[in-house]
Amino acid sequence: MVIDLSPFYGTSNPFDRLLESLWTPLSISQRSLAYPPLNISEDAESIYVQCEIPGMDIGDLDLTLTDSSLVIKGERKGVKGKFYRQERPTGFFQRVVNIQAGISRDKVTAKMKDGVLEVVIPKAEESKPKKISIDAQ
């Protein structure tokens, strides 16, 4: 984690605001932030991917695991009606998580609870760190 203690952290000048206003997404497919948001973490045993997708049905999601990536695809169906503000995007989405370790493909699990999809990808034995003992001579 990086903590910036400078007195100017988080402040923007008029030029920055002008650039941000010119660089706004023009359509839902050009979102300024990746959707859905992901948290990716790992420990010695597994890689964990948490994906926030509230209101999605499990049937509308597609998870694909290859040797080097996890692909999360889905489509959030739009709700008809007159909106005064709509911040939850609708339509097709896809996120790709690159995996840089050997994995145990047959032990991968996925579950969804309270709008959070959690995928647990166990690491293969050969990719786990191994302690090597040193012989004194």
Q: Report the alpha-carbon distance of residue 53 to residue 37 in Å, rounded.
A: 8
Q: 56-90 pLDDT, tens per residue?
A: 888 889 999 987 899 999 998 887 888 888 788 88
Q: Report the alpha-carbon distance of residue 125 to residue 46 in Å, rounded.
A: 11
Q: 28-47 pLDDT, tens per residue?
A: 444 446 789 999 999 989 99
Q: Which residues pair with 71 in a beta bridge?
A: 64, 96
- Structural domains of the chain sorted by starting position, each given as residue range(s) with its CATH number in brackets: 37-127 (2.60.40.790)
